[in-house]
Amino acid sequence: MTDLNLSKAQFTAETLSEALPYIQRYAGRTVVIKYGGHAMVDEELSAAFARDVVLLKHLGANPVIVHGGGPQIADLLGRLGIKSEFRDGLRVTDDATMEAVEMVLSGPINKNIVRAINAAGGKAVGLSGSDGDLMRVTKATRTKRDESSEIEKVIDLGYVGEPEKIDISVLNALMNSEKAIIPVIAPVGVGEDGRRYNVNADTAAGAIAAALNAKRLLLLTDVAGVLDKSKTLIREIRRDGVDALIADETISGGMIPKLETAAKAVNMGVGGAVILDGRARHALLMELFTEHGAGTIVY
């Protein structure tokens, strides 16, 4: 063995040794990962993500994947000539849009993630919130104050749902089976009216993390984390400080439901919620198994 190879081997051994306390921290604990953004459409990043998830499983953690698919949904809607709009970071969903949403989320996206994890040596099974009555939802509503009249008006988002009840029995059956299966969940829920509803993937991941009493909720996105007005990464945010960041417009758009989800999950018992950059290779491992972390933690 050359001196260079010996140096690399020693560095690898030291890294593994330093990771031991963190590996012990997550052994037997559930980690819910919201997977989306650029990491899903980049083949190299997708393969690295799948390997990291399998490694988490082999190190004793119980990863649960909840995925989005915004860019892929937008692409299909564009090809079908269906116009789509967002309000407060949520996609307004009519009948035609819902058809496309379920087609994309429960179809190719879900199965591609499952295949990638299986190819990396894991055992994954794809689900949606409809399977096993996993995710019951209520119709989501938003209000907005009219500046001229100062009257609160209800915004109709269509078939957009908010998680109301999470039945974790099917997830526990998969994770506790002899095969140690990794669930991969598409965020499509069912309402009391029997209709299917589009659920924001961050919101779905937060509700599932709370129901599973997860040690961590990891929200992968396309930025380094939560940035302040000077575009500097905010490393830590108290759960009761989120409303102030929204009020002074430090955060806006799609980051609003992410931070609201993170704060709500922590309020409901999740050990911590982290918003991190899914474009960074091995971001999951850096966040969980090093002292440096890799994003913004809400605690």
In tens, the pLDDT along 106-120 reads: 999 999 999 999 999
**Strand order from edge to edge, sheet including 30-35:** 124-128, 182-186, 62-67, 30-35, 216-221, 273-277, 295-298, 236-237
Which one-letter amino acid corresponds to residue 172? Answer: N
Which uninterrupted H or E stretch holds 133? Answer: none
Q: What angle do CA 158, 162, 165 make, to 5 degrees?
A: 135
pLDDT at 70: 82
* CA angle in degrees (0–180, nearest 5) for 120-123-126: 110
Instruction: Decide if pLDDT at 1 tops 60.
Output: no
Q: Report pLDDT digits (tens) over 6-54.
A: 677 777 777 778 888 888 999 999 999 999 877 787 888 899 999 999 9
pTM attached to this predicted model? 0.89
How would you classify the pairing of strands 182-186 and 152-166?
unpaired
Q: What is the number of residues in the chain?
A: 299
Q: Is the pLDDT of residue 4 over 80?
A: no
27-298: what fold? Carbamate kinase (3.40.1160)
> Would you kindly state where each structural domain of the chain is located, as residue ranges?
27-298
E-state strands within 22-180: 30-35, 62-67, 86-87, 90-91, 124-128, 135-145, 152-166
Q: Which has the minimum average pLDDT: 137-146, 234-243, 266-275?
A: 137-146
Cα–Cα–Cα angle for 66, 157, 279, rounded to 5 degrees: 35
Closest-CA residue to 273 (of 246, 247, 244, 236): 236
User: In this structure, are residues 162 and 140 in contact, taking their beta carbons and an 8 Å threshold?
Assistant: yes
In the numeric block, which tokens belong to residue 105?
């989320």
Q: What is the CA radius of gyration of the chain?
A: 20
Q: How much is the pLDDT for 147?
A: 59
**Is the separation of the CB atoms in 278 and 38 below 8 Å?**
yes
> pLDDT confidence of 157, banded at 50, 70, 90?
confident
Residues above pLDDT 90, as percent of the chain: 46
Question: Is 93 in a helix, a strand, or coil?
Answer: strand
Q: Write the pLDDT tens digit of every residue in 234-267.
A: 999 998 888 888 888 888 877 887 898 999 999 9
Q: What is residue 31's predicted lDDT score, i.e. its pLDDT? A: 97
More confident residue, 39 or 69: 69
Residue range 173-218, pLDDT digits in tens: 999 988 899 999 999 999 998 999 999 999 999 999 999 999 999 9
